[in-house]
Amino acid sequence: MAATSLPLLSFLLLVLSLRAADAQTPSAPAPGPAGPINITAILEKNGQYTTLIRLLNTTQIGTQLTNQLNSSTEGLTLLAPTDNAFNTLPSGSLNNLDNQQQVQLILYHVLPKFYTLSNLLLVSNPVRTQATGEDGVWGLNFTGQGNQVNVSSGLVQTPINNALRQDFPLAVYQVDKVLLPEELFGVKPPSSAPAAPAGKAPATKENSTTVAADGPSPPNNAASGGRAAFGLIAGLGLACVGLLA
Ligand SMILES: *[C@@H]1O[C@H](CO)[C@@H](O)[C@H](O)[C@H]1NC(C)=O
Ligand SMILES: *[C@@H]1O[C@H](CO)[C@@H](O)[C@H](O)[C@H]1NC(C)=O
Ligand SMILES: *[C@@H]1O[C@H](CO)[C@@H](O)[C@H](O)[C@H]1NC(C)=O
Ligand SMILES: *[C@@H]1O[C@H](CO)[C@@H](O)[C@H](O)[C@H]1NC(C)=O
Ligand SMILES: *[C@@H]1O[C@H](CO)[C@@H](O)[C@H](O)[C@H]1NC(C)=O
Ligand SMILES: *[C@@H]1O[C@H](CO)[C@@H](O)[C@H](O)[C@H]1NC(C)=O
């Protein structure tokens, strides 16, 4: 008995000390400050985003972004069009969009990653947004010169002037134009209209247009992974002890 218990004991001590060392190494980076970030409050403080605030509410994207900020390790960037930007759109632009398209338009102003202005000067284009359509993820192009960053949708180009917030996990930048995606406002490619029966709206969009619902939810299995590894090592150790005994 003593012959088997001594190696077993020392082995267990070894495993325990390894595990203690493991527990001390910091694992995933801790998410931002406690308490949800209130996007509405950030926009409200600046007084010129009532249309965007209303759209974030009616499309429920505001809630979605709040949840995403709470779980995302990448953070978010919001390009916030001013009321003036919405007011200078051709009349009807917004009302001609159905709910799904309004969601796409707003998500086109959201980047699923936190970018500082200097990050945006250096990104490789196109940068993915949270808007998706039949043709996949819709992108924006960023070009910079000196300290000036421009964003382009292909149809609209505008400078990014003002950072309302630039602290991880959320960046909010003012844009003075609504970024109109070509996919919604561009000339329709001929392939999308294959002799639709007259008088009937093409119903092809229903299935394939999807909304990128939420960001990656970070797996919470680091601890259980550790336990599994511990069990495996302990099992192997016991097997070795059994062979030696
Ligand atoms: C966010 O801020 C707005 C305006 O300050 C407020 O009306 C709203 O209740 C806040 N939402 C949350 C979840 O705290
Ligand atoms: C948001 O929308 C809800 C209904 O969906 C409405 O009751 C509420 O007043 C709206 N809040 C704001 C700030 O517009
Ligand atoms: C944020 O996430 C944590 C768990 O990941 C949850 O307990 C908390 O309620 C969430 N907070 C909000 C405001 O959703
Ligand atoms: C940014 O856009 C403005 C017009 O809006 C243009 O005059 C300027 O050259 C652009 N700058 C860059 C770096 O693309
Ligand atoms: C971005 O730039 C690329 C290369 O110049 C171009 O092909 C693409 O259409 C641009 N996309 C947008 C959204 O401006
Ligand atoms: C949508 O998908 C369903 C099955 O998933 C299919 O029966 C239907 O024909 C599709 N509709 C369109 C417009 O593609």
Could you check whether the bond before residue 126 is cis, i.e. omega within 30 degrees of 0? yes
**Is residue 112 pLDDT above 90, yes or no?**
yes
Separation of alpha carbons 141 and 126, rounded Å: 5
pLDDT at 122 over 80: yes
User: What's residue 74's pLDDT?
Assistant: 95
Decide: 125 and 134 in contact? Cβ < 8 Å: no
For the chain, percent of residues with pLDDT exceeding 90: 51
Q: What is the pLDDT of residues 4-62, one digit of tens each?
A: 565 555 554 444 454 555 544 444 445 545 568 999 999 998 889 999 999 999 999 99
70: Cβ below 6 Å to ligand 3?
yes
Q: Tell me if residue 212 falls in helix, strand or coil.
A: coil
Q: Which strands, in side-by-side order, build the sheet including 148-152?
A: 110-111, 76-81, 170-175, 157-167, 148-152, 136-145, 127-133
Which of 56-65, 159-168, 219-228 has the lowest average pLDDT? 219-228
Q: Please tell me the distance from the alpha carbon of residue 158 to that of residue 177, in angstroms, as a whole number.
A: 6
Residue 222, classified by CB atoms within 10 Å of its CB into exposed (0-12), middle (13-18) or buried (19+), is exposed
The atom number, within ligand 6, closest to the CA of 205 reads 13
Per-residue pLDDT tens over the stretch 182-221: 999 987 655 444 444 444 444 444 444 444 344 444 444 4
Which ligand does the CA of 45 lie closest to?
1
Residue 128 near residue 77 (C-beta atoms within 8 A): no
User: Nearest 5°: phi and psi at 122?
Assistant: -115, 0
- In the CATH scheme, what is the code of domain 39-182? 2.30.180.10
Tell which one of 57, 58, 60 to mutate to probe ligand 2, the residue whose CB is within 8 A of the most ligand atoms. 57
Residue 238, H or E segment? helix 222-244
Mean pLDDT, residues 116-123 taken together? 93
- Give how far the C-alpha of residue 49 lies from the chain's centroid of Cα atoms, to the nearest Å: 22
What is the overall mean pLDDT for the chain?
Answer: 76
Average pLDDT over residues 168-192: 85
Which of ligand 5's atoms lies nearest the C-alpha of 140?
Answer: 13
**Rounded to 5°, angle at Cα 68 from 65 and 74:** 115
Provide the pLDDT for residue 91. 86
Q: What is the pTM (predicted TM-score) of this model?
A: 0.66
Task: Delimit the domains of the chain by residue range.
Answer: 39-182
